Amino acid sequence: MQSHEIDYEIFGDDMQIVEIELDPGETVVAEAGAMNYMEEDIEFEAKMGDGSQVNQGFFSKMVSVGTRVLTGESIFMTHFTNRGQGKKRVAFASPYPGKIVALDLAKIGGSIVCQKDAFLCAAHGTKISIAFQKRLGAGFFGGEGFILQKLTGDGKAFVHAGGTIIKKKLQGETLRVDTGCLVAFTEGITYDIQRAGNLKSMFFGGEGLFLASLSGHGTVLLQSLPFSRLADRVLQHAPSAGGSNKGEGSILGGLGNMFGD
C-alpha cells in the first residue's frame, strides 16, 4: 500500500513536537497517547494495527495484535484523519526530553529497524511490524529484548530518542555502543551483542555487561541519554520513603546514607 504524502514541521529543542499537516482524506498513524493537539475536522479512531493491509483478515489482525503485545506496546494504534475541506494539522510529542527524527523511508531503502519504544507516528500505509533477532545473544542480552520494531513503506515516519541524536554512517567497519543508546539502523547493518571486556571490566567498569556491535554498510542512529539511564539516576537520587535527605549534596549526607539516620 502506498503511503499518504504528509507534510510536517518540528518545533522546540529538547522537548520537541512534530506537527503533521494533512490534506483532506489523509491519515497519520500514531502510538496511543502520543497526540498533543489537533485542529477541528480531524477525527481519530483507535484500531488494531497500522492499517497498511486494506483487506486484512481476522487471523492476520490477531497476529498483528500478538506482535504488538510482544513489543510491550498497546494493542491499539490511533488513526488521525482529516475529514474537512482544507489542510488541517495534528501534533505529536515524545514522552520524555529528547529529539524527534523525521525519516523518509523511500530514501533509506524502504525500511528501518528501531527500538520498540522509539516509534512515534507515521504516514498511513507504513507497516509497523516486529524484527526478531536471529542471534540469541542479541535477544537475551541486548538490553531492549529479543524484539525490535521494523518500519516499512515509502512514506514519512517519525521516531524519538533521549538527549542528542548522533548519526553514524558505516562503510564496512564495526561500531560498538551501549545497548540502550541504540535508536535505529537501516538495512545492511548487522546487529549483535558482545561481552564488554574481561570480567573485571564487565562488573566494575560501569558500562554494563554487554555492548551492541553494529557492522556493515548503512546508517545508525544513536541517543546520548537513554530513558532507562535517566530513570535510574532519578531513582538513585530520590528521597527515601521515610522522608527527604536533609544532608543531600554534602559529605554528612553521604555518611548518613551509609550509617542510617
Separation of alpha carbons 220 and 182, rounded Å: 8
197-241, pLDDT tens digit by residue? 555 554 555 555 678 889 999 999 999 888 777 777 777 777 754
- The β-bridge partners of 7 are 21
pLDDT computed for residue 211 by the predictor:
81
pLDDT computed for residue 2 by the predictor:
82
SS3 sequence of the chain = CCCCCCEEEEECCCECEEEEEECCCCEEEEECCCEEEECCCEEEEEEECCCCCCCCCHHHHHHHHHHHHHCCCCCEEEEEEECCCCCEEEEEECCCCEEEEEEEHHHCCCEEEECCCCEEEEECCCEEEEEECCCHHHHHHCCCCCEEEEEECCCEEEEEEECCEEEEEEEEEEEEEEHHHEEEEECCEEEEEEECCCHHHHHHCCCCCEEEEEEEEEEEEEECCCHHHHHHHHHHHCCECCECCCCCCCHHHHHHHHHCC
Question: Hunting for cell 536471529 — which residue is that?
Answer: 134
Quick check: is 226 in a domain?
Answer: yes
89-103, pLDDT tens digit by residue? 999 998 888 899 999
Quick check: is 227 in a domain?
Answer: yes
Average pLDDT of the segment spanning 2-15:
90
Quick check: is 203 in a domain?
Answer: yes
User: Is the confidence at residue 243, as pLDDT, over 80?
Assistant: no
Question: Of 73-77, 88-92, 131-135, which range is least confident?
Answer: 131-135
Which CATH number characterizes residue 119's domain?
3.60.160.10
Q: Half-sphere exposure of 136 toward its Cβ, with a 13 Å CA cutoff?
A: 0
Separation of alpha carbons 156 and 105, rounded Å: 6
Quick check: is 2 in a domain?
Answer: no
Average pLDDT of the segment spanning 127-132:
81
pLDDT computed for residue 199 by the predictor:
56
User: Is the confidence at residue 141, as pLDDT, over 80?
Assistant: no
Cell of 183: 535508536
Quick check: is 239 in a domain?
Answer: no
**Which amino acid, residue 119?**
F
Q: Which domain holds residue 106?
A: 7-234
pLDDT computed for residue 77 by the predictor:
86
| CA dist list (Å): 86 to 22, 41, 44 | 9, 9, 17
Task: Report the domain count for the chain.
Answer: 1
Quick check: is 255 in a domain?
Answer: no
Exposed/middle/buried for residue 243 (C-beta within 10 Å: 0-12, 13-18, 19+): exposed
Separation of alpha carbons 49 and 47, rounded Å: 6
pLDDT computed for residue 238 by the predictor:
73
| Arithmetic mean of pLDDT over the chain | 79
Average pLDDT of the segment spanning 189-198:
75
Quick check: is 243 in a domain?
Answer: no
Quick check: is 247 in a domain?
Answer: no
pLDDT computed for residue 80 by the predictor:
97
Q: Which pTM value belongs to this model?
A: 0.77
User: Is the confidence at residue 250, as pLDDT, over 50?
Assistant: no
User: Is the confidence at residue 131, as pLDDT, over 90?
Assistant: no
